[in-house]
Amino acid sequence: MVNLIFCKRLAISGVVMFFFSISTFASMSIPYGWYVEGNLGSTRQIQDNYPVDSNSSSSGLGGSIAAGYKFMPYFGMELGYTRYANTTIDDQNSTKAGSNRQYSYGLAGKGIIPVGTSGFELFGKFGVQRIYSSISITNATVASNIGLNSGQHSATGYYLGAGGEYYFSPEFAVVGQWARANGNKAAGTMDLYSVGASYLFG
């Protein structure tokens, strides 16, 4: 009976120490260093120049990767690439005419606000990006009927992002964020809502 009570107390102590260790690590994110980040999520086009007689669907799976440097607990810089879901372009009868492939490269500053010692950080990103758009025709007859032409476009504009990350250890964090690549009507303006992970090298 005594041994059973002792084992229970030992097990409880072990669990307490485990969660204490997690909370201790979470409150100690590395203050500076190189980091990499990867994200997957849903994309959406909010500006386009498709024919008025067409319908388009831009929602789907997209993702981003980034590499950067954290100069201090409150600021970093990163270079990233984002691939958006292909946009399907149909006529009014929902017959596919073509598709648009879009991606972007960007350079942004990252402002960071640690939330006490919880391991949770809020951040905002602002920078410049180059977005690329490539329209391909899948049905020439339908495309001709609605006035859709193949072609490639690109535009340089601002890049915005906002979100939060939680550090399970000084190096590893899970990330949730929104990011926008602002182009023009020809190249498009795209949003990405994503979740992912980052790793900070001390």
Residue type, 130: R
- Confidence band, pLDDT 50/70/90 cuts, at residue 28: low
Q: How confident is the model at residue 84 (pLDDT cuts 50, 70, 90)?
A: very high
The model's pTM is 0.82
Where residue 185 falls among pLDDT bands split at 50, 70, 90?
confident
Instruction: Write down the mean pLDDT value for the chain.
Output: 86
In order of 4, 16, 19, 23, 178, the CA distances from 10 in angstroms are 10, 10, 14, 20, 44
Q: Of the candidates 108, 198, 102, which has an alpha carbon nearest to the alpha carbon of residue 160? A: 108
Average pLDDT score over residue span 62-72: 97
pLDDT at 23: 45
Q: Where are the domains of the chain?
A: 2-201
Specify the CATH architecture of the domain 2-201: Beta Barrel (2.40)
Residue 85: the pLDDT is: 94
Percent of the chain scoring above 70 in pLDDT: 86
pLDDT of residue 19: 38
Whole-number Cα distances in Å, 94 to 52, 53, 89:
14, 11, 9
- In tens, the pLDDT along 87-140 reads 889 988 888 989 999 999 999 999 999 998 889 999 999 999 999 999 999 999
Q: Cα separation of 94 and 72, whole Å?
A: 52
Confidence (pLDDT) at 136? 93
In percent, the amount of the chain with pLDDT more than 90 equals 63
Residue of 107, 112, 40 whose CA lies nearest to 79? 107
pLDDT at residue 32 above 70? yes
Q: Which residues pair with 151 in a beta bridge?
A: 135
Residue of 160 and 57 predicted with greater confidence:
160
**143 neighbors 123 (Cβ within 8 angstroms):** no
What is the SS3 assignment for 6-61?
HHHHHHHHHHHHHHHHHHHHHCCCCCCEEEEEEEEEEEEEEECCCCCCCEEECCEE
